[in-house]
Amino acid sequence: MKIAIIDYGAGNLRSVERGLAHVGAPGQITGDAAEIDAADALILPGVGAFDACMQGLGPLKGVVLRRIAEGVPFLGICVGMQMLYEGSEEGGLCPGLGVVPGRLARFQGVPKVPHMGWNSLSVRRDHPLLKGIPDGSYVYFVHSYRAPVSAATAAATDYGGEFTAIVANEAGNVAGTQFHPEKSGAIGLRMLKNFVGMI
């Protein structure tokens, strides 16, 4: 089993690698298109600004979108989840990968931005990533922009209003978490194990 952790110059690569190793599925950090093309599953971490992350991903965008279209299991984490959307207001209406509909907007009317800390999940629909995850489970967030709740929302959370915490495409092979599963204790590790089970 080959899980490619995509290295495009941004992201918490090592913590994701350690999280996968903890659940018995070593990942390979790579920015090589051929290795991404040969992988059984892809993980796109992300830390930083949406526009900078999209620019960094640029040379690999084609292979990533093709592998997604082929049905390869894919997990986006934090900004890696945000990049699945059509775009974000961050960086001036920057376009995303367009795998799921919708656009990210900055938090408004909240006590503090970025939103940082533990929030509970409100499960909206079944998805393999949520197998064995109780409704109301707490996970760890760090972000300044949020995705709207939509038909693609598998789980939501609330900070100054509801937003998407887990998104999934219609085909079911793509999921994204706004939170960091690799930093969310036993619940997050169970999600990583569930992702491995999707492969």
List, by residue number, the catalytic residues.
78, 180, 182
Q: How do strand 74-77 and strand 115-120 relate by DSSP bridges? A: unpaired
- Closest C-alpha to 95, from 132, 138, 46, 61: 61
Q: To the nearest 5 percent, what fractions of the chain are helix, strand and coil?
A: 30, 30, 40
Which amino acid is present at 64? V
Contact 5, 75 (CB under 8 A): no
Contact 163, 81 (CB under 8 A): no
